[in-house]
């Protein structure tokens, strides 16, 4: 369900990265490649927190560098939008264990092949549909 309680058939997504070029590339991938709907974008953690409270998205794709690497920040985001899935984006693949340990539902690196990114993002909407009953 979206912010207004309406059912939606696509995954509502918020993108958060300090670099607009990265957000632009992610927007193309998730909208054109995966059929997700980007409801807003953030360049800072504070903006991301506000957008998650406002839009109550299904998925947040968040740059690791926006976080202080604490589980508290991810838990705070989830408290704003029950059922929120968070995929963290890092500069290097070896950041994956730390991101998952901090509570991320998925991780991909900015240097990963597009097929890897698509696979990670496709895994989260299936989980969303399974937990909320929304069509997957």
The CATH number of the domain holding residue 51 is 3.40.50.2300
Could you tell me if residue 6 is inside a domain? no
Q: Identify which of 6-10, 16-20, 113-117 has the greatest average pLDDT.
A: 16-20
Q: Report the number of distinct structural domains present in the chain.
A: 1
Q: Give the model confidence (pLDDT) of 79-134 as tens digits.
A: 988 889 999 999 999 999 999 998 899 999 999 988 899 999 988 765 554 444 44
Sign of CA dihedral 47, 128, 79, 107: negative
Which residue in this structure is represented by tokens 């549909």?
Answer: 129
This prediction has a pTM of 0.85
Could you tell me if residue 5 is inside a domain? no
Where is pLDDT greater, at 9 or 96? Answer: 96
Could you tell me if residue 7 is inside a domain? no
Could you tell me if residue 34 is inside a domain? yes
60 pLDDT band (50/70/90 cuts)? very high
Could you tell me if residue 1 is inside a domain? no
- The domain of 27 spans 12-129
How large is the average pLDDT for residues 44-50?
94
């Amino acid at each position: 369900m979206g912010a207004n309680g309406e059912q939606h058939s696509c995954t509502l997504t918020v993108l958060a990265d300090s670099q607009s070029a990265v957000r632009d590339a992610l927007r193309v991938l998730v909208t054109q490649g995966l059929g997700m709907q980007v409801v807003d974008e953030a360049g800072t953690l504070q903006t991301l927190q506000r957008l998650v409270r406002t839009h109550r998205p299904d998925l947040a794709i968040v740059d690791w560098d926006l976080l202080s690497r604490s589980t508290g920040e991810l838990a705070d985001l989830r408290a704003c939008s029950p059922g929120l899935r968070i995929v963290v984006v890092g500069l290097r693949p070896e950041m994956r264990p730390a991101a998952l340990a901090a509570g991320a539902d998925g991780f991909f690196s900015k240097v990963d092949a597009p097929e890897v990114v698509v696979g990670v993002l496709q895994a989260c909407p299936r989980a969303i549909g399974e937990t909320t009953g929304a069509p997957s």
